[in-house]
Structure 1
Amino acid sequence: MKDALLLIDLHAGFFTSETLKLARKNLVEASNKLIAAARDNGVPVFLITTEHSRDRSTWTLNMLDDDQGYLFHNDPSAELVEGLDTKDVTRVEKTRDSAWFGTDLDLRIRNLDVDRVVVAGVSTHGCIAQTVRDAYARNIRTAIASDAIADDRESYQDIMLEQLVDDRQTQLHAVDEVIQMWASDH
């Protein structure tokens, strides 16, 4: 099985809630561990980021309803979380929850003959869940690195993970298990 690593929305702006502030250090460490192992084992790494335009053309419905955008180009909130190792990663920019919607991620994954993506980052109930579901719709297997994800609504995270696993749309693996799988495939 050929894997790729998708790191979702590791922006400074997402780490403002108390829950995510507390999770930030461990999440960055786990993400960096995955990135290093991916490099060592020839696994492509995609940094999936969100960036919106000030002209409202990329805003989601809730942003339009609230008349409040965020994650604008060159804003501090759109910067990557401090300490994340981004050397030699491929960046894919999105404007919706799913990393697949309106991006060229599908083309990139297919060109690399990837048949499973390992997903990490934030927020589990939103962007991670939608990315996993859309991968499933494309017949691409997924695994969520269970100790490399976070959500400011922890109860939502637990419910979402249970649903995704019960629906057989993903598997959960700890970071060390993912690394072991990559090493044994290499």
Structure 2
Amino acid sequence: MARGPSEMGATSDFTRPALVLIDLQQGFFEAPELAAVRERMLSHCNQLAAAARASGVLVLNVRTVHQEDKSTWTLKMLEDDQGYLFEGTPQAANLQRLDLSLSIEVIKQRDSAFWNTGLRALLSQHRATSIALAGVSLDTCIAATAADAFAANLPVALGIDATACAEPDMEQSTLKFMVEQHRQKLMDTRQLCQMFSSAH
């Protein structure tokens, strides 16, 4: 069956993007694999946020926050009887020196930034029809958010040098799935900044 004009190239339409920063919090970077790339992540994410702001592109900062009373805990947390990222603790705070000027915060309790949050409504409110993703971790929260974006027909560009994987063995298989199954784009910081500058 031939595709209509509105379907062709749909996954490449980044004319109205939003930048979504995922879990750039102190607690996640206590893991050795992520602590080792903390400075790189800060540099690239700050560059992306600055470029987005300069072009009038929406910047959303997504943080994971849980309650100590277990009311927000995942099945794995409940099974292990071990919570983390409690509201008001240093672990739940944003990374120091992360420039979030003019950004909007979204709080989540699950891997996907779309699950039971106001993210979809914020994107609609600001007329964003695609997202650029940066942050951690590629194999969990980034992948889950990207999958839900695909389900919502939102094209995704992944900031390949502005993300990191807590499980290095999962990195290539995760990227392969995103590209092949969800037609999502891998871009570096320079390419994303150029994309923001041409947004309208």
The Cα offsets for residues 70-119 of structure 1, whole Å up to 9 and x where unpaired, read as 00011111111111001111000000000000001111111111111000
Which stretch of structure 1 is more off in the superposition, 57-66 or 152-161? 152-161
Name structure 2 gaps, 5 residues minimum: 1-14
**Which residue of structure 2 lines up, in the alignment, with residue 47 of structure 1?**
61
**Which residue of structure 2 lines up, in the alignment, with residue 60 of structure 1?**
74
CA distance in 1, matches of 2:31, 2:148: 27
For residue 192 of structure 2, what is the amino acid of its counterpart?
V
- Number of residue pairs aligned between Structure 1 and Structure 2: 186
**Which residue of structure 1 lines up, in the alignment, with residue 7 of structure 2?**
none
Output aligned runs, 1:89-108, within 5 Å.
Answer: 89-108=103-122
Give the C-alpha shift of residue 168 in structure 1: 2.9
For residue 18 of structure 2, what is the amino acid of its counterpart?
A
Q: What is the TM-score normalised by the length of structure 1? A: 0.97
Task: Confirm or deny: 8 A CA contact 1:132 1:169 kept in the other structure.
Answer: no
CA distance in 1, matches of 2:19, 2:195: 13
Stretches of 4+ aligned residues off by more than 6 angstroms: none
**Which residue of structure 1 lines up, in the alignment, with residue 97 of structure 2?**
83
The Cα offsets for residues 133-168 of structure 1, whole Å up to 9 and x where unpaired, read as 001101111110000001121121221011110113
CA distance in 2, matches of 1:107, 1:169: 23
The Cα offsets for residues 38-68 of structure 1, whole Å up to 9 and x where unpaired, read as 0000100000000001110100000000001
1:70 partnered with 2:87: no
CA distance in 1, matches of 2:166, 2:42: 16
Task: Confirm or deny: 8 A CA contact 2:25 2:93 kept in the other structure.
Answer: yes
For residue 135 of structure 2, what is the amino acid of its counterpart?
G
Q: Among 108, 111, 134, which residue is 1:120 paired with?
A: 134
Task: Confirm or deny: 8 A CA contact 1:14 1:77 kept in the other structure.
Answer: yes
CA distance in 2, matches of 1:72, 1:184: 39
Kindly name which structure, 1 or 2, has the bigger radius of gyration based on alpha carbons. 2
SS of residue in 2 equivalent to 1:117: strand
Q: What is the TM-score normalised by the length of structure 2? A: 0.91
CA distance in 2, matches of 1:152, 1:126: 9
CA distance in 2, matches of 1:122, 1:151: 7
Task: Confirm or deny: 8 A CA contact 1:11 1:79 kept in the other structure.
Answer: yes
